[in-house]
Amino acid sequence: MHKILTIVVAAGAGRRMRSEVPKQFLLLGGEPIVMRTLRRMAEGVGRYVADCSQNVNEWVHKLVLVLPEAYIERWGELCAAHGFEVPHGVVAGGETRFQSVRRGLEAEPEAEWVLVHDGVRPFVADGVIRGVIEGARAGGAAVPVVPVVDSLRRGGGRGGGSVAVERGAFRAVQTPQGFRGELLRRAYTLPEEGGFTDDASVVEALGGVEIGLAEGERQNIKITTGFDLSVAEMLLSEGWG
């Protein structure tokens, strides 16, 4: 039996949104953003599993939501108010994203494959989910990426100068990020470092691990500011999500 664990990380305070309510609980089309994210991951992984085998009982998918401890009771109230019935577990997050993912991993310590997804990316497509899972199954670790379209410059020169950087060598990284479960659990036994910006950077710190690249999509935005929320409303009105 194949066990897939999806950890949806939504334990942040969302200070960049400048809202008293953490961004993951803000409404998008009348529903908290993180509810849409959970449903999207449940549906996407579910369809992947159904396509992989005629016997869906060969696969088990567990969905775990990591929330700020102070909002867990409120989350239950929101689920009741919105009639949200997507099966999932809830765990309290830590002070950092690293600590929150580590706690999420403890919810299913025997998962063969693990996906880690931002709670405020509600528009991830089935194709992205599929590409990440297949990339992880092929090489142990995979992240979705999109090309960088803006010109890049590296700062830090003398006198505040900068130098142009070849953008073709770079990719912008999204989530979900997928890993062999044993590999990710081993990575999260490492001491936390400031350079850990995502799960792939934690796994990379083990050494000897190559992070595969899967194709991401532009609409898989991370909603972190008021502008992002406006874009999300537009995407929703155009049929995304």
| pLDDT value, residue 159 | 72
pLDDT at residue 181 is higher than 80 = yes
Q: What is the pLDDT of residue 219?
A: 97
| Residue 85 clears pLDDT 90, i.e. is over it | yes
Q: What is the mean pLDDT of the chain?
A: 93
- Residue 20 is predicted with a pLDDT of 73
Model confidence at 54, pLDDT cuts 50, 70, 90, reads: low
pLDDT exceeds cutoff 80 at 56: no
The pLDDT value recorded for residue 18 is: 60
Outline where DSSP puts E strands in 14-162.
Answer: 27-28, 31-32, 59-67, 89-92, 113-118, 141-147, 152-154
**The pLDDT value given to residue 67:** 97
pLDDT more than 70, % of the chain = 95
Going by C-alpha positions, the residue among 91, 107, 102 that lies closest to residue 184 is: 102
Tell me: pLDDT of 172 over 70: yes
3-state secondary structure at position 128:
helix
pLDDT at 2 > cutoff 90: no
Please count the structural domains in the chain: 1
Q: How far apart are CA 74 and CA 153, in angstroms?
A: 44
* Residues of the domain holding 173: 2-237
Q: What average pLDDT does range 140-148 have in this prediction?
A: 98
The answer on pLDDT for 91 being more than 80 is yes
Q: By the 8 A CB rule, do 163 and 111 touch?
A: no
> Which pLDDT value is given to residue 161?
83
Q: Dihedral angle at the C-alpha atoms of 158, 163, 169, 174, nearest 10 degrees?
A: 70
Which CATH number is 62's domain given? 3.90.550.10
For the segment 162-191, the average pLDDT, to the nearest whole number, is 96
Tell me the C-alpha distance between 221 and 48, whole Å.
Answer: 22
The average pLDDT across 111-133 equals 98
pLDDT digits (tens, 9 = 90+) for 14-48: 566 666 788 999 999 999 999 999 999 999 999 99
Whether 160 has a pLDDT exceeding 80, the answer reads no
pLDDT at position 17: 60
Mean pLDDT score, 81-100? 97
